[in-house]
């Protein structure tokens, strides 16, 4: 896999590099693994995660591919773009999860978009452990210059605090 183009994908630097597009309830929080979620992660290098609250929480990054040293020629050759994320719930409260990734033109118009199916985790019927969502963009045409990555969710019981979905290990890579 190529270099992860997302900065601070697991909260090592709190919320730095992320734009909070919705920050409901008790806002976003960074916790240490396994924390209140109670589930260990499959990669020992990942030691933190972002936790959402009782109202919808979304955060995003827009990656400028020319600033990341890709050339217009490389990008117009339509290399595979791989996006992914890890999410989990808690054993005491249900939650919802959502993720969107978009390939954008130089004017930041959407060329192609992937929206993960919204997920509801319920501890009564699901173990709520860490799960991965991933997508590979191909055959999207020339003109990609930016990639937008956005994810988040909330809890399903509207409990005060950080009982919503947990996210970590997010990634955006280009395979040139």
Q: Is the dihedral of CA 9, 12, 15, 16 positive or negative?
A: negative
Model pTM? 0.92
Helix residue ranges per DSSP H, the chain: 72-76
DSSP character for 72? H
pLDDT of residue 36: 65
Distance CA 106, CA 92 (A): 44
3-class secondary-structure state, position 140: coil
pLDDT the model gives residue 157 = 79
Query: Which class for 131: exposed (0-12), middle (13-18), buried (19 or more C-beta within 10 A)?
Result: middle
What is the model's pLDDT at position 176? 82
Note the CATH architecture for domain 19-175. Answer: Sandwich (2.60)
At 76, give phi and psi (nearest 5°): -70, -15
Q: What is the pLDDT along the chain (176 residues), one digit of tens a residue?
A: 689 999 999 999 999 999 998 776 568 889 888 776 667 788 888 889 999 988 889 999 999 999 999 999 999 999 999 999 999 988 788 788 999 999 999 999 999 999 999 998 887 888 878 999 999 999 999 999 999 999 999 888 777 778 778 999 999 999 98
Tokens read off for 28: 């976003």
Residue that the structure tokens 């290098």 belong to: 45
Closest C-alpha among 164, 89, 104, 169 to residue 134: 169
What is the reported pLDDT for 24?
63
């Amino acid at each position: 896999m190529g270099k992860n183009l997302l900065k601070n994908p697991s909260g090592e630097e709190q919320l730095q590099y992320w734009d909070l597009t919705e920050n409901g309830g008790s806002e976003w929080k960074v916790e240490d693994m396994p924390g209140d979620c109670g589930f260990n992660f499959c990669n020992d290098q990942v030691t933190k995660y972002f936790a959402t609250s009782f109202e919808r929480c979304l955060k995003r990054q827009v990656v400028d591919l020319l600033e990341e040293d890709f050339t217009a020629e490389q990008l117009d050759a339509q290399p595979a773009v791989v996006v992914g994320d890890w999410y989990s719930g808690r054993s005491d409260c249900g939650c919802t999860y959502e993720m969107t990734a978009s390939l954008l033109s130089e004017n930041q118009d959407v060329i192609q978009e992937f929206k993960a199916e919204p997920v509801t985790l319920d501890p009564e019927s699901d173990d709520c452990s860490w799960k991965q969502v991933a997508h590979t963009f191909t055959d999207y045409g020339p003109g990609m210059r930016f990639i937008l990555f956005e994810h988040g969710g909330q809890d399903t019981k509207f409990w005060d605090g950080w009982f919503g979905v947990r996210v970590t290990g997010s990634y955006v890579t280009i395979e040139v």
